[in-house]
């Protein structure tokens, strides 16, 4: 198990730099980092700790196996982010939040683990401890248990794609404004191309 | 009917801020705002007036019903923008123009209303008066009647998608350079991902 | 053949301006210009020479026919860039390189011409001479013969799409993180929308 002693030191400048890059990329594609900057910097630091340990950005709020091939789905941004953003207004970590939550119009709710339990139980190594400040910062209701505790909250069957069209794994959504196509459980909050809102999408396939 | 008296005041700084945001988003996705800045700021002010009145960015050049569910297709950018950009070099309002028009190589033509007449006639409330300066600014030929007058120019059947492949509502276009896919009447002016021009697209489905 | 005498002069400021624009567009979509700036500026100058001559950005490392309709596939970025980036870490010119090559973790290899030989042989006019400094700059191993020499290295059948699904010309890839769809030989290095890496893509159609 990893204690504070063997936690790699991440230079604050590096955390800041990654924060700015992620923030820019998020905004340009219609995503938003948690506006609680202290909280967000803590999560990013956790990811960078994981990068040092495992060689990839394992989610700072989940147990990583340390084997990349098994952790692909929880490399940040994780495969579950967008579904959680749609349903709960935040990803599992609350690193990413929806526009409503960012604007304070909606409070992020406690987020059940969407990752299939089988996958989570394959993790043998503890993940980074998460934000340096422990679990205190950020939107409290939305902050999952951290600090090495296993996310044993697989309350939803989740992860599994909905039936979708005939033999498609996911339904395809079309932005009525610009024609952008994407395949996911539901349309994105905002079209990453033309910034039209979710309500402007239609089921295409 | 709304007169000048009940027109909400929009702080110039807010108009400027929204202008910069829209301009940045447009350019990063291969779209262009009308380079006549005075005209463009007037249209954006009209949208912000509509936002105050209705709660959403109803097109400043059309009559809004005031009921969001009925006006979804004319929330800016409207569902008709891209088709008008392809065919006429500008959207109905001339808020967005094509590269050619922006560069002055082509003059925007008068644009017939592409929105189905049934939809337009559902509007019961007048839209914002549009640019504060009246209809004087901008590419004149391209400037639709504003100031509360109904756009009674539904000259095209429009709005209706072309037949397309088998049972697809729109044909799917593929950028030969980067593989980007979109479903729309015709390919976009510029690939929003790699900036390749329209001529580099092929019909995919 | 075109000599130095009739090579159009391109103002350095124009080369610089185009460089900055291309660099910004590349980075925002997950592509990277060759970090050897001198080399890259030389290639861009070659493209601008071609623009003056032919009216379009013919690839500075290939023979252009001077007829746009026949050269569409080699207008930069060319139709072969992304496949070469995936396979060799650089496009034919090495104007664009992969993240690994940019970071110096991988050396770009010599790139065989992916353009079908029939297309190349249709070229009757010599292309621009390429970088002013000749072929000296840039990642040497990756620098194709320039200066008007025909790229007679069509070692791969290339250009032809793989079988793909049923009657699709290209397989469709889906980003598991954001649902982005694209149709190409293989997934992109990085999702242009959410920046997830290639390994996070799955075959969708």
Residues of A (5-44) whose Cβ lies below 8 Å from B: 28
Contacts of A24 (CB under 8 A, 6+ apart): none
Query: Is-contact A120 A101, C-beta < 8 A?
Result: no
Q: Of A13, A27, A1, A15, which is closest to residue A132 (Cα–Cα)? A: A15
Rounded Cα gap, residues A141 and B43, in angstroms? 41
C-alpha C120/C-alpha A162 separation (Å) is: 47
Distance of residue B107 Cα from the nearest chain A Cα, in angstroms: 23
A199 contacts in chain B (CB < 8 Å): 72
C198 touches chain A (CB under 8 A): no
Note whether B115 contacts C: Cβ–Cβ < 8 A: no
Query: A touches which chains (3+ CB pairs under 8 A)?
Result: B, C
Which are the contacts of A103, defined by CB distance < 8 A and separation ≥ 6? none
Residue A114 has pLDDT above 60, yes or no: yes
List chains adjacent to chain B, taking adjacency as at least 3 C-beta pairs closer than 8 Å: A, C
Q: Across the interface, do B72 and A200 touch by the CB < 8 Å criterion?
A: yes
C198 reaches B (C-beta below 8 A): no
pLDDT tens per residue across span A121-166: 766 544 444 443 333 334 434 343 333 333 333 232 333 333 334 5
Rounded Cα gap, residues B92 and B35, in angstroms: 16
- Give me the residues of chain C with pLDDT under 50, please: 1-2, 125-165
* For A184, nearest residue in chain C (alpha carbons): C179
Give the one of B81, B82, B183 whose C-beta lies nearest to A174's C-beta: B183
Nearest chain B Cα distance for residue C116, angstroms? 15
Positive or negative CA dihedral for A26, A32, A38, A43?
Answer: negative
CA distance B57 to chain C (A): 25
| pLDDT at site B119 | 83
Task: Tell me, rounded to whole angstroms, the distance of Cα C91 from its chain centroid.
Answer: 4
For residue B158, the chain A residues in CB contact (below 8 A) are none
Distance of residue B58 Cα from the nearest chain C Cα, in angstroms = 27
Name the closest residue on chain B to residue C186, using Cα atoms: B179
Tokens of B174: 């593929």
Higher pLDDT, A76 or A160: A76
What residues in chain B have per-residue pLDDT under 70?
A: 1-5, 122-166
Asked if C182 and C172 touch (Cβ cutoff 8 Å), the reply is: yes
pTM of the model: 0.72
Residues of A in contact with C193 (CB under 8 A): 29, 192
Q: Token digits for B45?
A: 């002010």
Contacts of B51 (CB under 8 A, 6+ apart): B57, B58
Q: What residues in B contact A176, CB-CB < 8 Å?
A: 73, 79
Strand partners for C32:
C97
Predicted local confidence at residue A182, as pLDDT: 97
DSSP A197: B
- CB contact at 8 A, B129 and B49: yes
Q: Do C182 and B177 touch (CB under 8 A)?
A: no
pLDDT in tens, B41-72: 999 999 999 999 999 999 999 999 999 999 99
Q: What residues of A are in contact with residue B76 (Cβ under 8 Å)?
A: none
Residue B21, both tokens: 């945001």
A-B contacts at Cβ under 8 angstroms: 52
Of C181, C194, C199, the CB nearest to A72: C199
Q: Work out the minimum CA distance from A142 to partner chain B, whole angstroms.
A: 28
Residue bearing tokens 């929880």: A74
CB contact at 8 A, C62 and C123:
yes
Q: Which residues of chain A have a CB within 8 Å of the CB of B184?
A: 178-179
Q: What is the pLDDT of residue C129?
A: 44
Site from C184, C194, C195 to mutate, B interface, most B CB atoms within 10 angstroms: C184
- In this prediction, residue A2 carries a pLDDT of 47
Rounded Cα distance, A197 and A199, in Å:
5
Give the best residue of A25, A31, A177 to mutate against chain B (max B CB count within 10 A): A177
Give the HSE-up count for residue C160: Cα atoms under 13 Å, Cβ half-sphere: 9
Nearest CB among C28, C174, C196 relative to A77 is that of C196
Nearest chain B alpha carbon to A181: B182
For residue B5, the distance in angstroms to the closest alpha carbon of chain A comes to 31
Closest C-alpha among B158, B178, B182 to residue B168: B182
Q: Would you call C81 an interface residue with chain B, using a CB distance cutoff of 8 Å?
A: yes
């Amino acid at each position: 198990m990893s204690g504070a002693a063997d936690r790699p030191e991440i230079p604050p400048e590096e955390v800041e730099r990654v924060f700015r890059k992620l923030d820019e990329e998020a905004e340009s594609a219609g995503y938003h980092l948690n506006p609680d900057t202290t909280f967000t910097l803590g999560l990013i630091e956790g990811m960078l700790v994981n990068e040092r340990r495992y060689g990839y950005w394992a989610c700072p709020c989940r147990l990583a196996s340390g084997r990349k091939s098994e952790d692909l789905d929880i490399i940040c941004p994780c495969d579950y982010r967008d579904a959680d953003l749609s349903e709960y207004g935040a990803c599992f970590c609350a690193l990413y939040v929806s526009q409503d939550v960012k604007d304070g119009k909606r409070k992020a709710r406690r987020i059940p683990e969407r990752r299939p339990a089988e996958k989570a139980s394959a993790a043998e190594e503890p993940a980074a401890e998460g934000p340096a400040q422990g679990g205190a910062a950020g939107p409290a209701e939305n902050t999952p248990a951290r600090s090495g505790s296993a996310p044993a909250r697989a309350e939803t069957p989740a992860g599994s794609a909905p039936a979708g069209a005939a033999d498609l794994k996911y339904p395809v959504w079309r932005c009525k404004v610009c024609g952008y196509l994407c395949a996911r459980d539901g349309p994105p909050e905002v079209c990453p191309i033309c910034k039209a809102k979710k309500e402007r999408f239609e089921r295409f396939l």
